[in-house]
Amino acid sequence: MVSPAQPRVAAPVDAVALETRAAELATRSIKKEAKRCGLLLALTMTDLTTLEGRDSPGKVAALCRKAAHPAPGLPSVAAVCVYPDLVPTAVQALAGSSIAVASVATGFPSGRTSRALKLDEVRRCVDDGASEIDMVIDRGAFLAGYHEAVADEIAAVKQACGPAHLKVILETGELATYDNVRLASLIAIEAGADFIKTSTGKVKPAATMPVVLLMLEVVRDHYLATGKLVGVKAAGGISSAKLALRYLAMVNETVGDLWLTPERFRFGASSLLNDLAMQLARLDAGTYQRPDDFGKD
């Protein structure tokens, strides 16, 4: 990073008004068929995730089986998301399915490692069969004002991705202000991101409705100006079907139909899946369900 930093400034965001609008969208009441549709859509938008130090081949294999069959009669999820060294396990377990293998990369979650190592990691993941790469931006550089360097790194990673699609994790919890989130979103999009993603899930707060609302507004305006569709992934802290439906209402009313698809919107989650299955079962049975009736992998 070359001193002095040359920070970029993006248009301002008013936090109070943004949060008020998000809170208002959270009051949407989704019932009956609309609820069923929403729950199924959320399910197909899930990136089933395991990112723990103690992840083992057995754990990943079980997760992949769950991804393919979340519960009897339900469709499969969008992707499975794992650490780089477990990509081969996931690829094998998911062979023949339409579920993508997504890998985190670039020194996830901190990003505090050399450019060379980051790019090498990305190439290996893609070689091993990952079709989606979830990278982290350099938050230290961003907060110090080295915005060009941040953009540069994203572009380099995009190139290393080859055919794989790139999600850029902003780690909004560390960016702290909405103004920063808007700027980081713009930088990521301009540098070639296919998706912008809120969080690693390792830092609180992770995804919040106001932050995702802001990111949706950015991709909306970008699409209207350029015709390019960039996706949004909300990751971390979304463990209830109720919350997932609120996010979908927000997507529905902010950017509309073009994003109401796994191609353009994802939930990065693990326990969300069982709650979606449980709520679908409740709709069918008409009675409240029991967590233990749903497989825990």
Residues that bind other proteins (CB under 8 A): 11-14, 16-18, 20-21, 27-35, 37-38, 40-41, 217, 220, 223-227, 229, 248-249, 252-253, 255-258, 260-261, 263-264
Query: Catalytic one among 47, 134, 138, 275?
Result: 134
Q: How far is the CB of 224 from other proteins (least distance, A)?
A: 5
Count CA atoms closer than 13 A to 57's CA, side-chain side: 5
Cβ closest to other proteins, residue 18 vs residue 193: 18
Please tell me the distance from the alpha carbon of residue 170 to that of residue 178, in angstroms, as a whole number: 12
Cβ closest to other proteins, residue 1 vs residue 37: 37
User: Greatest CA span in the chain, whole angstroms?
Assistant: 63
Beta-carbon contacts of residue 88 (< 8 Å; ≥ 6 apart): 128, 129
Short-list 230, 244, 232, CA closest to 273: 244
Query: Catalytic one among 66, 118, 233, 275?
Result: 233
134 given a catalytic annotation = yes
Q: How far is the CB of 49 from other proteins (least distance, A)?
A: 22
- Which of helix, strand or coil describes residue 12? coil
Question: What burial class does residue 156 get, using C-beta atoms within 10 Å of its C-beta: 0-12 exposed, 13-18 middle, 19+ buried?
Answer: middle
Cβ closest to other proteins, residue 20 vs residue 271: 20
296 given a catalytic annotation = no
Q: How far is the CB of 16 from other proteins (least distance, A)?
A: 7
197 given a catalytic annotation = yes
Q: So which residues are the catalytic ones? A: 134, 197, 233
